[in-house]
Amino acid sequence: MFNNQKSQIKAKILVVENSQKRSHLDTIATEEPLEIRLVNPFQTVAVTMRTPGADFDLAAGFLYSEAIITSKKDLNSISYCVEPNIDGEQRYNIINVNLKEGLQPNLKPLERHFFTSSACGVCGKASIEALKLRGCSPISNHLTITPEIIYSLPEKLRAAQGIFTATGGLHAAALFDKQGNLIKLREDVGRHNALDKLIGSAFLSDEIPLNNKIIMVSGRSSFEIVQKCIMARVPILCAVSAPSSLAVSLSQQFGITLIGFLRGQKFNIYSGTQRIIDVTFN
């Protein structure tokens, strides 16, 4: 179904430069709420502020990252709410997820109704121990890459950010192969939403697990970002900015190569150094 919400809008603004003012028509990234609902059993599992677009990917990626679904066979359908709102318009801010008949997902982590802002992900998230209880094991593949491949990723990510180029207001998550070729990219006002859209797209295309793949995010690496990569079995995670302490600890325990401050010809390795080869130490 076509979503007629726009990922960007035009707004008249006033620009002040060198103490002179002028009117300007600016392009701004759209931020709208999205409610993700299970149809059977009926339950709202999340309300997140997101940029409209790839909403089905977002819903699938979120549910997969939360271990509510584990394979594409767990989904009967994903659709927008068909009931019009009071203005008679399609309710594109509500997604209905119809699970496979007989599937009884563990909804205990989602007993509370929580609100996810575009900035901070799911607050009060379960700890590292909860991930182990989900059956997540360390990622132990032998993928190796050179620094040159890593150096090339930011420019490729930025070049593919169409909405960011227009608005300057979106995060991105990109999937690369081991040669550094861009496979797909998703954008959103929220860092976690962008990654959920990316992983959800791979999930719906039966590409999970993402073995021998690299993910790069445009912001920092948090616990939630690393957790989603663990669920998708991504061995290498790169970020433009810094990781949090819990992200580093989680990466170390689950065997992820975590790279931060990837800018120009420089980056920091916080865990999984064995996957980066052809490095000379001074």
Residue 127's CB: how many other CB atoms inside 10 A? 11
DSSP E strands in the chain: the ranges are 8-17, 20-29, 32-38, 43-50, 75-81, 91-99, 115-116, 171-177, 182-188, 213-217, 236-239, 257-263, 266-271
Instruction: Give the residue-averaged pLDDT of 168-177.
Output: 88
Q: Which band of pLDDT confidence, cut at 50, 70 and 90, is reported for residue 119?
A: very low
Q: Decide if 120 is catalytic.
A: yes
Q: Is 227 helix (H, G, I), strand (E, B) or coil?
A: helix
Q: Say how far apart CA 242 and CA 238 lie, in whole Å.
A: 10
The CATH number of the domain covering residues in 147-275: 3.40.140.10
Residue 3 has pLDDT above 90, yes or no: no
Which residue among 120, 123, 136, 238 is the active-site one?
120
Domain ranges of the chain: 147-275
State the average pLDDT for the chain.
84
- 90 in Cβ contact with 229 (< 8 Å): no
Residue with tokens 């150094």: 273
pTM, two decimals, is: 0.84
Residue 280 has pLDDT above 90, yes or no: no
- 92 in Cβ contact with 6 (< 8 Å): no
Tokens at 213, concatenated: 């793949």
Higher pLDDT, 250 or 116: 250
pLDDT of residue 31: 80
Q: Which band of pLDDT confidence, cut at 50, 70 and 90, is reported for residue 5?
A: low
Q: Which band of pLDDT confidence, cut at 50, 70 and 90, is reported for residue 112?
A: very low
Q: Which of 39-48, 159-168, 207-216, 240-249 has the lowest mean pLDDT?
A: 159-168
